[in-house]
Every structure is written in C-alpha cells, then in structure tokens.
Chain A
C-alpha cells in the first residue's frame, strides 16, 4: 500500500482542467489499488483462521476426546514405513482411548525438513535422519528441550540402519567394497550432504572406511573421499531423488543408499534389475525421533504424540519397522525372517570416529568445511 498511496495523489491526466470527473477517476484508481492489497492481506488471515476452526469444531461422536490431527515431519526414505506405522497406530489408539487420530506425513531431505520446522512447519513429531538436525530445531527453534535425546530409549532411536551399495544386476563393474568406488570410470550416485542426512552418512561411512584402512590418517582419508566425490555425476538434494536418478533414469554404476532404501528399491522395481552389495564395514545410522513439545501443545496433541513415538518401540511397532527393512532396536519383537535378510556388517558409529554429530557437522559439512574444499574445485 505505501508504494501506491503517495503516487495516486500525483495522478495528472491529459484532461487537466476538467477536474470534476477526474477526481472521481483518481479516487477510483487509489481505491481499486488499495482494496487489491487489503484483499491480499485479508485472504491470508481468513483462510488461516478457517483452518483452525475446522480443527476445533469437528469434534463430535466420540465421548472420550475430540479427534486430533498429528503431523509427522520426516526424512526422505521413510514414507512407506510411516504409512504402515500410521495405519496400525491409528487403529490401536482408537481401540485404547476411543480417540480418532489422523496422521499427516511430510517428507524431504533431513536438513531441509529441520529447517522447515524451525521456520514454522507445525510438526508434532519429527523423525529425522540424524540427531544433529533435531539438535538444530531445539537450538534455533527452541521448540523442545536440548536434552531431547534422553527422553526415549536407545538415544531416541527406535530403529537404526546403515549404508550399503545398490548396483545393477550382475554387478557389471564388479563393485565389492569402498575401494571399488574410487576407481576410474566408476560412477557413484549419492545425494548432497548439505541437504541430505543419508548423504552425510554416505560421506562419513567412506571417510570412516578410509580412516580404518590408512591407520587414522586424516589426510589420506580426505584424499580417498575426494576421489569418490569426483566420481559422482549427479548430486541430488535428497536420498529419494538419488534413488530415482539411479534406478529410473539409469545414471551411474552404484548407488550409495540407506539399507532400507536399497531393499525397498529392489522390492519395488524388481530383483531382476538390481542387487545389493554389502561393504566390509559401514556406518551405524541412528535416525532419532522426538515430540515437538510446543507444536503439539498448541492443539492438545501432546499425549497422542507421545503415544505415537512409544508405539514405535512396542512389539507391534518394532515388527513393522523390521518389515520395512529397518533394523529394530529390539530385534526380539520382529519376525525372524525380516531380521535374517539384513546382512551382518561391521558397523562403526559417528560418535566413535568423529566424536559427535556436532563435531562431524562442523568439520565436514559446515560452510568452508572439508566437503566444500573437496567439492568446490570441481565446479
């Protein structure tokens, strides 16, 4: 409005002198311009409030508690897992408490999703790829306490996973271990560690392998990872984007992928096209979950949000977790068959090799960090 206001006064027309209709035209012009802008501002507020209205007025039927909506903000490859979890949880919660709950999902690169919650995406729970991203929400958003990771068992990780290789059927390039990824003429597909949690695990897994191979020599490890990154033709922003680049668009010889993502790709797109290669050693991926206290409290959903996350640890939840190719924190609850298909790999943790996620983030992925110095010269 301030842009147009003063100018509408200085409207001077070709019919200077005939001032009667002119004033009308001037007034009209400024009215039209300003109502446009007011209407724009108004529509934002009104549709926001109508959204809130549906949430509070739709409570009917249940004697127990009004129906509630839960938003789970998650990372890229968990879509199928949470579709299954949500279905089971909704039924169980209804039976136990009589309350109807609908669960919405939002997926994207882990870092990007954390950023969205910090910027105001009203997730009631976050289920992200790594603890650093959740730390960021506590730190920058202040939406839950900084010691969130102590609130649930197993460092708030109801399931873990690792990084494996997905190759084309018959493994034409003969890829067996990390060493094969730095060879000339091998194209490696991995997402961008700046935005993707999976990619950060990929990168740290390669780094960890090199550390072990060269006796903890950081310079050698950097050289190794730099060579690997040179073999990457496409850097997508999320794990799912990389998977489609590899399987659907047929680019690259090997995909560095979440174990669950690799199994899912083989299941969805056919074992006749792809196979999984397990490296000699890999990283333990620990995707944590937590309730976003302030968001859940704002619409009376704290109880159900807590129940939702606890459900992940329950025997039923753990069974679903294993069905979807994640490694359950309590394997005894899962079907034996589902556990057996996950290969045994020597796994190291981020804390073992890099101190903490905050450390790894600062050294490797922050602006001006090791990844930048490896990747920048390529452009």
Chain B
C-alpha cells in the first residue's frame, strides 16, 4: 500500500524487492535523454521563478527599499495598527466559529444518513462558487439602509455593514467551507466503525465524539484551520464591499495595502504587503508539516478497512 502511494523516486531503492521486470520498466519510464530532462526541469523551474519567486522577492525588496526605518514605521502608525488589530480580530472570531461549524457539519454528513444531505453539502460549497464581490453585496442587500433589515437595525442603532460586524460576517461567509471541506473526505474514509464500537461498548454521544471522532481527525482539522485563517486574514473582495474604507476603523490589512498604494505611499504599501506575504509563507510551512501528519491519518484510516474487505 505505502509503496504504491509513494513517488517514483521512492520506488527506485525498493526495486530489487519487486523484481527485475518492473525495474526495467521503471528505468525506461525515467530514462529520458539528458537534454529532455534538462529542458523539462529548466522550464518548470523557470516558470516557478518567474511566477512565484520573483514577485515574492519583489515584495520584500520594494518594502525595504527606503530602509528598515521606513519599513518599521509602516507598522507603528495608528492606521496600520488598527488594520492589524481588525484583521486579527476578524480571524479570531471567524476561525473558531468555522471550526465548530465545520466539525458539526462534517460529522453530520459523514456519520449519519438523513434527507437533504446533498443539499447541505451544496450549501457548504456555495461560498466557493460565488464571487467574493457577490458575497459582500449579499450583506449590503440584507443589512444596508435600503435593504431588508436596514431600517430596523438603524432604529435600534445597530451598525452592521460599514463596520466591524459586517467585515466579520463577510469573512465568515467566504471562509465557511474551508474546515468542513477538509474534514469530510477524511471522515468518509474513516467510516463509522470506531464510533459504532464505542457506542456498542456503552460510550455516550459526547464521549464518542471527544474520544473517538475528534482525535481521529485532529490533523486534518488543524489543516483546515490554517487554510481558513489564511483566507480570513487575506480576504479582499467581499470585505472591500462592506468595509466603508474608513481609515483607522474599518480597514483590514489587504484594504490598508490598497489605500497606501493609492496614496503613492509605495514603500509602506509593500511593507504591509510583506506582512501578508510573511503570513502566507508561515501558513505554507505549517501546512507542509500538517499535511504530512494528515497523510499519516489517511494511511491509518485506510489500513483497517483494507484488512476487513
């Protein structure tokens, strides 16, 4: 099982175990001329450099162009600090809520049979399908003064759009599917056997959930959290629609970058952008580690079922 799943490079050392016939075939499959190899590898490396590496370096180079002093000053003013605060606050609200929702929905979908299940799955995917601008406009139409609930909200002096709650709601909507989508395939793979065993041994619902289901998916859950967090902090489109662009109040980091850029303040714009880029790099690093653990979870999920069948 594990041999079949690994990459070509991983097979080579095991070749003697598998037999000469396969070794020969494998050799032919990877035995291109040096020129072709070089060309293919060169093309992909060149492409990666151009599309990913150069822009990333450019962000940091541009951010530091006017010196470390200007770079640091970009983060210490009121507008930048409040943008950082709002961004952190937004993801601090959205990520836990989406963890609860993601767990609950993935659990319901994978461990139970009920009518309307496919409708629920479609609903969860909805935010992936619609453009972020629409996701923002939905809330303007709902909570705006000309919208459904606007006049009532105004009457009770509650401000939702063009304020922090609107930004949180829009972000919540956009990041809705991340945790659930990460959990559902794994939990489907794992099946309900362990839960059944726990239940038949007398475990309660809570016990089954905390001691069986949750430990089985913890790495996939963390993976979902990382992706959800990255999107929550980086979301631009939906947030832009509901933000109102009030400097120092309703600007998140991505919106702050746009404003700085529009004010010809390029060094500061790139400095703040580099903060977001740094977040992306950290996300990727964390993701790589977690991905590795998730793969192990998958392997564990597959092995017992494989033995039964």
Contacts and interface: CB of A to CB of B under 8 A. Distances in A.
Contacts, number: 154
Interface in B84-109: 93, 97, 100-101, 103-105, 107-108
A32 B165 CA distance: 22
A354 B204 CA distance: 77
B162 A39 contact: no
B205 A21 contact: yes
B162 A35 contact: no
A121 B244 contact: yes
B247 A15 contact: no
B140 A119 contact: yes
A81 interface: no
B244 A106 contact: yes
Interface string A1-38: 00110011011111100100110110111001101100
B160 A44 contact: yes
B245 A108 contact: yes
B245 A107 contact: yes
A119 B104 contact: no
Contact of B262 (A44, A120, A241): A241
Interface in A114-157: 116, 118-122, 140-141
B165 A45 contact: yes
A79 B263 contact: yes
Interface stretch (A47-55, A226-234, A341-349): A47-55
A10 B115 contact: yes
Contact of B169 (A25, A32, A40, A240): A40
Interface in B241-293: 244-249, 259, 261-264, 266
A93 to B, nearest CB: 19
Interface stretch (B43-51, B150-158, B297-305): B150-158
A119 B108 contact: no
A118 B146 contact: yes
A8 to B, nearest CB: 8
A357 B64 CA distance: 47
Given A33-B105, A122-B159, A14 B113 contact: yes
A18 B202 CA distance: 10
Given A120-B161, A268-B264, A104 B247 contact: yes
Interface residues of A, number: 57
A244 B260 CA distance: 12
Nearest to A14: B192
B93 A43 contact: yes
B161 to A, nearest CB: 6
B116 A7 contact: yes
B104 A29 contact: yes
Given A48-B163, A105-B246, A28 B158 contact: no
A310 to B, nearest CB: 23
A6 B161 CA distance: 30
B100 to A, nearest CB: 5
A149 to B, nearest CB: 22
A49 B245 contact: no
B113 A12 contact: yes
Interface string B179-210: 00000000000001000100110011110110
B112 A11 contact: yes
A209 B32 CA distance: 68
Contacts of A3: 120, 123
B245 A48 contact: no
A119 B144 contact: yes
B246 A119 contact: no
A24, A28, A120: most-surrounded residue (chain B CB, <10 A): A120
Contacts of A141: 145-146
B162 to A, nearest CB: 4
B111 interface: yes
B222 to A, nearest CB: 19
Contacts of A28: 205-206, 209
30 contacts: A7-B115, A8-B108, A15-B199, A21-B199, A25-B112, A27-B205, A33-B101, A33-B104, A36-B97, A36-B101, A40-B169, A44-B165, A44-B169, A45-B158, A48-B158, A48-B160, A48-B163, A49-B158, A51-B163, A104-B247, A105-B246, A107-B245, A108-B245, A116-B244, A119-B145, A119-B162, A120-B145, A122-B162, A140-B146, A141-B146
Given A32-B100, A122-B162, A141-B146, 8 more contacts: A11-B113, A12-B114, A18-B200, A29-B112, A36-B97, A45-B158, A47-B163, A105-B247
What 7 A-B pairs come out closest when comparing CB atoms? A24-B205, A119-B144, A44-B165, A25-B205, A120-B145, A32-B104, A121-B162
